[in-house]
Amino acid sequence: MESTRRFGKYRVEREVLDEQRLEEVTQRKTHSDTHPSLTERLKDSLRCTVPKLKRSVMSSLPVLYWLPKYSVWDYGMPDLISGISVGIMHLPQGMAYALLASLPPVFGLYSSLYPALIYFFFGTSRHISIGTFTVLSIMVGSVTERLAPDVAFLKNNGTNFTAEVDITARDSYRVQVAAATTVLGGLIQVVLGLVKFGFVGTYLSEPLVRAYTTAAAGHAVVAQLKNILGISPTRFSGPLSLVYTLKDVCSLLPQTHLPTLVVSAVSMVFLIAAKELNSFLSSKLPVPIPVELITIVAATLISNYAYLNSNYTVSVVGEIPSGLSPPSVPDVSIFGEVIGDAFALAIVGYAISISLGKTFALKHGYKVDSNQELVALGLSNAVGGFFQCYSVCCSMSRSLIQETTGGKTQMAGVASAVIVLVTILKLGALFQELPKAVLAVIVFVNLKGMFKQYSDIVTLWRRSKFDLVVWLVTWVSTLLLNLDLGLAASISFALLTVIFRTQLPTYSVLGNVPGTELYVDIETHREVREIPGVTIFRSSATVYYANAELYLEALKEKSGLDISKMIIYKRRQEAKQKRRERRAERRAKRQAKREVKLFSVEEEAGGWMDTSIDGNDKEDQGWTERENGTVFVIPTSPRATDGHCRWEYLKGGDPDCTSLGWMSELQDGDTTTLGSSSEDTLSRDLERVSLGSLGKWTWDIHSIILDLSTANFIDTVAIKTMKNIFQDFSEIDVDIYMAGCQASVVEQLELGDFFSESITKRRLFASVHDAVLYCLNHRGAASFPRYEPSVVTNTCKGMGFFCLNSFFTSF
């Protein structure tokens, strides 16, 4: 259908495309063309070809893709320098973070060795450093201390009859718990990666992750207070464990071990000053100064020669076994007790790794496969668990060092693993006199970046209140409910905010930008004009079961049409009309028997009414008919003294003060006045059923266009709601059209049996502008003004209806 319309200075001359015509022009594919059957997909997945096999192997083992292309001259030296720098960081961090996991320090070194080697073969990121991380160490520590508390390993001292903790047995069982949790978490990650659930990490939004890590930093500080102060508080588990632990620490402050506190204070001052100097000179240094390694070497030497452990009872690391421990199968009986913690570790570790990996990939121009990353991280944890490692992921500080020192590939990870391996085999025994307070201080100082995340509160307050609420709820729930339950509560609340925002979207009526085919919200833009007789309605979110009813209510409010009241009134009027017709028929028969001549106005009224009324009957003193929502009342009173016929019509207004009066048709037809006639019985009768309760003239709007361009799906509840909208508005002579539907939405409408003989694809248009052009061509562009109950101006023809002329005679 060709259409020519002028919008301001913009002239439109093109075909108006509805959905049916668009499918004919574009030859849209059928559902079977775009969606192969399950049998076809199964056959395609089982079909094996050489190229397909090669792609599968390359995607499963990314090292086979980039290692043959590796250039030793271009990448060898940068990777070596970067690997050594990261390896030096692995040593203090591995031992320090092992304390957070409530494990002996050597197991932190194991966790820095094996997973990095596994990731070398399966990972797709070139710059992240796999190993121990603060948050995961705290999460593992909460599991180990819950399942292996100190009170479960008390033994009697034969000399003074006091109970002591069997540290060897306790640490051995905690290692088993940590290994079992790590293996189970790794298997969960591998399964999720194989079934292409790499997108699961996207449910952890950035505000949620930052708030979670900030709260985890609080747990880390409280956990390390015992090593910094030299006290032995009771470690609690479960909800509010942080509060109970902090309360116990405060009660033990008078028992603070002063030599340990001095060691902690000196180490902290040195570390903070050295890190600040390192940051100040970072632009002038080729590689950062390994201040943490210098700190632990210096502290070990001082402790060894000053005999801090024997003379001042300062707690030290103790024996570090040389060599590698053989692999062992984890205790599968523990799986049932740690499955929730394992799932939380799997999700949090993956979310942190993939977010950092994608950041570096975007910066350096390569692609990170989210599903393969999930598999690589899962294998690193699952295989590492057999070698007594605990859960790992990438560390932000080490990854930044690996990237800034020139690392190009995961060969840097291999170089760092070699540094850790040499330390375990040859240098581990040298750190036996290292004070635990120094490792606790290293953890405390490294949390500086997480403490800075409290500034997110101010930033989110200015940018997004919803994200701020998510941040605060995540922070509070993680602090109070512990790390596992806090994560579950945080994700649940974040998803609820998404549902809440889609359930209560913004509804708007659109207007045309003059000279364009654009349509924007008339409430937020001044220079737009509403299309006469057409209401364009849009929701900012997709329509589905949670907001379908609200969508209908918003449509009624924005269009001004109270469809329920209008339909009820229409049906009442139809019922009354039928009763009047039956009474008139009975009276006609009685009058025929009396041979009383009846007068009919049907011929002169052009088919408007066919009713005879007894002059003595007060209930039926006129005829009524509707045109475009107007109720006309033709009284039986004689002509006026001026010779003009007089007629009445019923007009909508305020529900509490409707008006019914006499209309005097002037000879020139320019002006019509409305008076009152309280004496007229018919007026008093019809005043009770006036259109005033409707709240709006029905001829103001002849078409409503539903802009569904924001919808990406539509469910069965929304389809039923759309059907009801079409059916209800058609009863009051308002046409409904849909525009901007995506192909997937049209397909879902077809599958939901939305289309029928009354609702065809002719009601769907490719764009809002196409729908507007069709409405203007089909129903016209006349603007129908609204009128006050007292006075009506302009000619009747300009109002979209015609006046009744003097077509009846007096009795």
Which of the given ranges, 36-40, 383-387, 601-605, has the highest pLDDT on average? Answer: 383-387
**Taking Cα atoms as reference points, which of 656, 590, 650, 659 lies closest to residue 625?**
650
d(CA 325, CA 544): 57
End-to-end CA, the chain: 53
Same domain, 446 and 468: yes
Beta-strand runs (E) in 142-291: 154-156, 163-165
pLDDT digits (tens, 9 = 90+) for 674-695: 333 333 444 344 333 334 344 3
pLDDT, tens only, 65-78: 999 999 999 899 99
Residue 423 within a domain:
yes
Q: 């271009």: which residue's tokens?
A: 74
User: What is the distance, to the nearest Å, from the Cα of residue 28 to the centroid of all Cα atoms in its chain?
Assistant: 31
Backbone torsions φ then ψ of 11, nearest 5 degrees: -105, 130
Are 514 and 438 found together in one domain?
no
pLDDT one-digit tens code per residue, 259-304: 999 999 999 999 999 988 888 887 888 777 888 889 999 999 999 9
Q: Please list, in sequence order, all residues whose beta carbon lies within 8 angstroms of the beta carbon of residue 566, skipping any fewer than 6 positions away.
A: 694, 698, 732
CA distances for 4 relative to 14, 15, 768, 774, angstroms: 7, 9, 16, 10
Q: What is the per-residue pLDDT for 153?
A: 84
Q: Name the 3-class secondary structure at 748.
A: helix
Q: What mean pLDDT is predicted for residues 779-797?
A: 39
pLDDT of residue 653: 39
The mean pLDDT of 211-226, rounded to a whole number, is 90
Q: What is the token pair recorded at 458?
A: 């101010």
- C-alpha dihedral sign at 485, 486, 492, 495: negative
The pLDDT tens digits of the residues spanning 575-621 come to 888 888 888 888 888 887 776 444 444 444 444 444 444 444 444 44
In this structure, are 202 and 101 located in the same domain?
Answer: yes
**pLDDT on residue 661:** 33
Which one of 450, 477, 500 terminates a domain?
500
Amino acid at 578: K
CATH number at residue 530: 3.30.750.24
Q: What is the pLDDT of residue 1?
A: 52
Tell me the average pLDDT across 539-546. 91
- Domain span at residue 479? 77-229+244-258+275-317+327-500
Letter for the amino acid at 675?
Answer: G
**Residue 173 vs residue 569, higher pLDDT:** 173
Instruction: Classify residue 151: in a domain, yes or no.
Output: yes
**Looking at residues 89-115, what average pLDDT do you find?**
92
Q: Which two tokens stand for residue 3?
A: 């259409």
List Cβ neighbours of 526 (8 Å cut-off, separation of 6 or more). none
Res 495 pLDDT > 80: yes
Q: What single letter denotes the amino acid at residue 463?
A: R
Which of 152-161, 380-389, 629-638, 729-738 has the weakest average pLDDT?
Answer: 629-638
Q: Do 522 and 378 have their domain in common?
A: no
Tokens of 40: 């076809």
Residue 29: pLDDT band (50, 70, 90) is low
What is the rounded average pLDDT of the residues 361-372?
90
- How wide is the angle at C-alpha 726 spanned by C-alphas 725 and 727, nearest 5°? 95
pLDDT of 533 higher than 60: yes
Query: Beta strands of 102-150 (E only): which ranges?
Result: 130-131
- How far apart CA 130 and CA 136 sit, in angstroms, is 12
Bridge pairing between strands 764-765 and 519-521 = unpaired
Q: How large a percentage of the chain has pLDDT more than 70?
A: 79
Integer Cα distance of 350 and 165 in angstroms: 36
Domain-located, residue 460: yes
Can you give the pLDDT at residue 32? 60
Q: How far apart are CA 171 and CA 545, in angstroms?
A: 53
> What DSSP designation does 127 have?
S
- Per-residue model confidence (pLDDT) at position 631: 40
Same domain, residue pair 296 and 334: yes
Does residue 263 lie within any of the structural domains?
no
Task: Give residue 659's Cα distance to chain centre.
Answer: 51
Clarify whether residues 473 and 542 are in a common domain. no
Q: Which of 500, 531, 552 is the last residue of a domain?
A: 500
Query: At residue 197, what is the residue type?
Result: F
Has residue 103 got a pLDDT over 60? yes
* Coil/strand/helix, residue 736: strand
Token code pair at residue 572: 């009442």
Give domain status of residue 65, yes or no: no
pLDDT bracket for residue 34 (50, 70, 90)? low
Torsion-angle region of 307 (φ positive above 0: left; ψ -120 to 50: alpha; else: beta): left
Decide if 421 is inside a domain: yes
More confidently predicted of 736 and 37: 736
CB atoms within 10 A of CB 176: 19
137 lies in the same domain as 195 = yes
Q: Locate tokens 């200075």: which residue? A: 9
Quick one: angle between helices 335-364 and 167-194, nearest 10?
Answer: 60
Same domain, 446 and 523: no
Whether 627 is in a domain gets the answer no
Residue 380 · residue 207 · CB < 8 Å: no
CA atoms within 13 A on the CB side of 591: 15
Number of Cβ within 10 Å of residue 523's Cβ equals 13
Kindly tell me if the per-residue pLDDT of 788 is higher than 80: no
Backbone dihedral angles phi then psi of residue 440, each to the nearest 5 degrees = -65, -40
How many whole angstroms from its chain centre is CA 445? 35
Name the amino acid, one letter, at 750: E
Tell me if 150 is assigned to some domain. yes
- Three-class SS of residue 519? strand
Quick one: how far is CA 48 from the chain centroid?
39
Same domain, 473 and 421: yes
Higher pLDDT, 680 or 563: 563
End-of-domain residue from the set 476, 500, 524: 500
Give the per-residue pLDDT at 617. 45
Q: How many CB atoms sit inside 10 A of residue 148's CB?
A: 20
Residues 378 and 281 in one domain: yes
Q: How many domains does the chain have?
A: 2
Check whether 341 has a pLDDT greater than 60.
Answer: yes
Better-predicted residue by pLDDT, 639 or 23: 23
Q: Are residues 422 and 313 in the same domain?
A: yes
**pLDDT at residue 31 in the model:** 57
Closest CA to 527 of 513, 515, 516, 517: 513
Among the listed residues 687, 682, 684, the one whose alpha carbon sits nearest the alpha carbon of residue 611: 682
Within 10 angstroms of residue 556's Cβ, the number of other Cβ atoms is: 17
Tell me: do 346 and 418 sit in the same domain.
Answer: yes
Which residues, in sequence order, are bridge partners of residue 18? 765
pLDDT at 62: 93
Q: Could you tell me if 779 and 735 are in contact, meaning their C-beta atoms sit under 8 angstroms apart?
A: yes
pLDDT band at 230 (very low <50, low <70, confident <90, very high): very high
The region of weakest confidence among 379-393, 605-619, 626-640 is 626-640
Contact of 320 with 171, CB cutoff 8 Å: no
* CA 276 and chain centroid, separation: 39
- By C-alpha distance, which of 90, 93, 99, 88 is closest to 317? 99
CA distance 450 to 445: 10
Torsion sign across C-alpha atoms 208, 209, 215, 216: positive
